[in-house]
Structure 1
Amino acid sequence: MNHTAKSARASSAAVLTWAGLLTVLALLTGCTDTREALLNGKARSPGDVISVFPENGAKDVDEETRIAVKVPDGRLESVKVMRIEDAQQQTVAGRIAEDGRSWAPEPKVARLALAAKYSIDAVAVDAQGRRSARHATFTTLVPEHRFIGYFKPENRSTVGTGMIVSFAFNRPVADRAAVERAIRVTSDPVVEVVGHWFGKDRLDFRPKTYWKPGTEVTVDIGLRDVEGAPGVYGSQDKTVVFTVGRHQISRVDAEAKTMEVRRDG
């Protein structure tokens, strides 16, 4: 009787051992299948799902480069491109194509800023509704040569009615039209202003008529990344505001050693 019981227990143990072995083999097979699925691309990384250009970590990117975001299948749900690490972050305007497979900047978007850092954040959805996210950054070329314009009058100053807005550049300007377009002089009340060059390093903006007393004049200097000469780029991006004081004309008679001053008339 005892011998029979021991045999039964041994048989049960053997069955359990084989069942355990089969379970382990099944688990190993499942792991192998999962590994093969990963190797076969069924579980892709965000970099495989969403491609960006310039690539993440790219450096010295040319200003003419066009940013691109694409997916091989599914669709892009959202894309946000920003110029970062500035006092004010700027969003790069763009849109997702009708088929949802790509994003590109708007045609009117200007060239990339030089010496700048950009970020790309994109979210895509595949056919099964699964989402993938991608974050990338790149930096643009830092020009070796820069030019600046020393201007007058100074910001927040009060000037006379005949004041001229004048720029003296530290390097000769070859593309004078591009530099002049990058500087905008406006006033309230409105006065027509005309630019005039003196050689290659001085630009004056003169009002067609005298400024009226109390006029507020705004000078928008958008010279940053403007190519003033081959390989030489501007570095200034600022706004200057000054106010016109009372009308005053001084006439000097050197022989008589007298000076006549007329104010407001």
Structure 2
Amino acid sequence: MASLALAAGCSGSPNTHPNGDATVPAATATVAISPADGATKVAPTGALRVTAAAGKLTRITVTAPGDTNVPGKVSADRTTWTPSRPLRTGTHYQVTATAQDSSGHTVTQQSAFTTLTPAHKAAATVNVVAGETYGVGMEVEVRFKDPVSDKAAVMRAITVSATPAVLVVGHWFGDDQVDFRPQQYWTPGTRATVHLRLDGVQTAPGAYGTQQQDITFAIGRSQISTIDDRTKQLLVVRDGKLVRTLPGSLGAPGHTTYNGQMVISEKYRVIDMDSRTVGLGSSYNIKDVPHAMRLTTSGTFIHGNYWRPSFVFGNQDTSHGCVGLRDVRGGGDPSTPAAWFYNNSLIGDVVIVKGTPDRTVQPGNGLNGWNMSWSAWTTTSS
């Protein structure tokens, strides 16, 4: 403020010492920083603004512990600067801004303020774990606890990078889930990183994200398994080569299996399966189902089956929509087809079902966005 007062008092005229020597004229430019110095509970977006009058902005630095060199955008006439991303919540920022007038004289202004600590935090969960290896069909799923109203802001704050480089785009399923994938299956050996920059992003009125982290994961070998209802044989193809053929059983009439590309999203060595959890009443309640791997949110699994005779597999459809492979109760025999498939599968591996009388699985029912065209995926990506 002293600099601004000095500039106003001089009015651009030279001062003269008693001995007659002229001093250097003061800058006529002024700098204004909003919010005011010492402000608290400042909104992370829309509040910070730096302006210059009678001159051009030449340098702006905005720093905070853990958030150095905040990037920004300057107007074409270099009189206004605003940050290009949200500030972090509950953080003390310092701003230093310099402007220069037409004579080359400069003035610098400083300010400090603290952003608000949100009463409501918009928590998000991510389905990938740092350091883990996934199959080539893996989709990154970010799910919010509460509905998101500003989807565009959230989409700008979440990116996925990869080596080798590939474009990865997000697509919203409803108001609380956004999934990311490339156009084609991942290249084996890829290293990918999810960049979460949600701290300070207003997801809905009064709700702000607070997460600021990177999650790096790997893509392993390619394994794509296909079962055709006409043959009832699961063909396991790894890195382009057929490595195993396993007889299976699909959904019986009235409970047929979805067609389409489905991705393994969860693995359970043993799980209990109750038809009431998937809206099928009291149709079944099977204990100790071995080697179960989830394919859809709605309840489709590929799993071991110990309650059907061996001749069923490869010949009859007997399930309520799942893909069944021969197994023993509890999964204690490693030589069964189901045990082999479980032990040789990753979360993110692809299982394709063909030839059933059912419809194609919905893209948002599990990690199954591969059933949506790339144009549709990217057109509604925000």
Quickly name the TM-score band, shorter chain normalised.
Answer: 0.5 to 0.7
Partner of 2:313: none
Query: What is the total number of aligned residue pairs between the two structures?
Result: 213
1:202 to 177, 197, 203: 177
C-alpha distance 215-127 of structure 1, shift in aligned 2 (>3 A): closer
Aligned equivalent of 1:135: 110
Give the match's secondary structure for 1:46: helix
1:232 to 193, 207, 215: 207
Task: Give the CA deviation at 1:197.
Answer: 4.1
Q: Counterpart in 2 of 1:88?
A: 68
TM-score, reference length from structure 2: 0.45
1:214 Cα shift? 0.6
Q: Decide which moves more: 113-122 or 152-161.
A: 113-122
State the 1:215 CA deviation. 1.2
Instruction: Give the Cα separation in 2 of the matches to 1:207 and 1:130.
Output: 51
Counterpart residue number, 1:61 = 42
The verdict on how the C-alpha distance between 1:166 and 1:193 changes in structure 2, with shifts beyond 3 A counting, is same
Distance 1:164 1:76 in 2: 47
TM-score (norm 1): 0.61
Of residues 136, 146, 151, the one that matches 2:121 is: 146
Question: What is the CA-CA distance between 1:154 and the residue it aligns to?
Answer: 0.9
Q: Give per-residue Cα distances to partners, 1:12-58, cap 9 Å, x unaligned.
A: xxxxxxxxxxxxxxxxxxxxxxxxxxxxxxxx932424553323222
- Which residue in 2 is equivalent to 1:244? 219
Partner of 2:138: 163
Name the structure 2 match of 1:110.
Answer: 84
Question: Pairwise mapping of residues 40-59 of structure 1 onto structure 2 (< 5 A)?
Answer: 45-48=2-5, 49=7, 50=30, 52-54=32-34, 55-59=36-40
Opposite residue 137 of structure 2, the aligned amino acid is G
Determine which structure has more spread, i.e. the larger CA radius of gyration: 1
> Cα deviation per residue 1:214-265 (whole Å; 9 max; x = unaligned)?
11122222322222222212122322221111234576663432325478xx
Q: CA 1:131 to 1:186, structure 2 compared with 1: closer, same or farther past 3 Å?
A: closer
Contact 1:112-1:140 within 8 A present in 2 as well = no
* Matching residue within 172, 175, 182 for 2:150: 175
Unaligned runs of 5+ in 1: 1-43
- Structure 1 range deviating more: 148-157 or 136-145: 136-145
Distance in 1, matches of 2:199 and 2:117, equals 12
Taking the aligned partners of 1:163 and 1:46, their CA distance within structure 2 comes to 57
How far off its partner does 1:186 sit?
3.4
CA distance 1:253–1:194, change in 2 (3 Å)? farther
Deviations 1:134-170 (A, max 9, x none): 4322233333222121112112222222222122222
Query: Unaligned stretches of 5+ in structure 2?
Result: 8-29, 226-235, 237-245, 247-302, 309-325, 328-335, 346-382
Deviation at 1:91, TM superposition (A): 5.3
CA distance in 1, matches of 2:121, 2:138: 28
RMSD between aligned residues: 3.9
Q: Give me the identity figure in percent.
A: 31
Most deviating of 82-91 and 121-130: 121-130
Match of 2:154, SS?
helix
The within-5 A match list for 1:62-81 is 62=43, 63-70=45-52, 79-81=59-61
